[in-house]
A and B are shown apart, each in its own frame.
Chain A
Amino acid sequence: MTLYSLLFYLLAIIILASTVMAVTRRNLVHAIIYLVVSFFGSAMLFYLLGAPFLAAIEVIIYAGAIMILFLFIVMMIDVDRHKERLFPIRQCLPAIIFGLVYAAVGLMVTFGHSGSKASMPIAVATPNAFGRFVFEHHWLAVEIVSLLLLVALIGALYLGRLKIEKSAAAGKETP
């Protein structure tokens, strides 16, 4: 067992454990902090798999931006946190059905293909080569994704503004 595979299994254990801890927390802030740990582990795994640019992006966007956004929302909204029953029986049935179907398909894909049993080589895609590849072969997808981000920005702004205008109008009417 080489150092790389040792690191891989260590990171896998950290990611799975912290994700399970995140999913089973009652307190939302604790869940989000555990998930940040999980995403840091995924970033290190990306680095181990030869994608340093994606590792940096994972830390900056996932752990940095998205999780902090969640944290802001949780702190903005005062949730009654002790009322929720964890994993109620009624919702476990669809979860089990989804899980069984998914596990069957996943096992078929994972172990059915002979090419997946060979061990992975060591390779690194430098950010330079990666950027060159993306903009040479997938420039249209980059444009579409940037348009999608713009649409998401406008949509989020619209959803956030609607209520303020209404409350401002209501505030004008009442006095």
Chain B
Amino acid sequence: MNVPLTHLLTLAGGLFFIGIWCAVTRRNLIMVMLGIEIMLNAAALAFVGASLRWQQMEGQAVALFVLAIAAAEVSVGLALIICIYRRYRTLDPAKVQ
């Protein structure tokens, strides 16, 4: 594999930037959660690339834990979104007080 780690980190950085942009600018709670998912995925990608570069399996282990944390965060976050929608009838975070 003749790709330097720099290119993989650039890809992960671009993904993370898209995730931040989505989470900060979109006015919809579901899209905010999607942005957080994109950011977590980018972090896992960077960890796996670093684990390949230095031939250590620690990075892959951390990526596994990142996946588990993403699953936990999504379940609680979506339950919260359901609660917010039932109470306020909207998903716009600016209208929730």
Contact = CB atoms under 8 A, between A and B. Distances in A.
A117 B10 CA distance: 12
A109 B49 CA distance: 14
Interface string A53-65: 1100110011001
Interface string B38-65: 1001001100110111110110110111
A121 B3 CA distance: 9
Interface residues of B, number: 69
Interface string B53-90: 11101101101110111111111101111110110000
B83 A159 contact: yes
A26 B96 CA distance: 20
B87 to A, nearest CB: 8
Contact of A73 (B6, B63, B82): B82
State which size class the interface on A falls in: 35 or more
Interface string A23-50: 1000010011001001100100110111
Contacts of A82: none
A84 interface: yes
A28 B45 contact: no
B51 to A, nearest CB: 8
A35 B9 contact: no
B27 A85 contact: yes
B38 A19 contact: yes
A117 B91 contact: no
A35 B74 contact: no
Contacts of B64: 54, 57, 134
B4 A70 contact: no
A88 to B, nearest CB: 7
A120 interface: yes
B41 A39 contact: yes
28 contacts: A16-B14, A16-B18, A23-B26, A39-B41, A49-B52, A57-B67, A65-B71, A66-B70, A69-B75, A70-B74, A74-B30, A77-B30, A77-B85, A106-B13, A115-B5, A116-B4, A116-B5, A118-B5, A119-B3, A120-B49, A120-B52, A129-B57, A149-B71, A152-B73, A155-B75, A156-B75, A163-B83, A163-B86
Given A62-B37, A103-B17, A160-B82, 4 more contacts: A2-B1, A28-B28, A49-B1, A102-B17
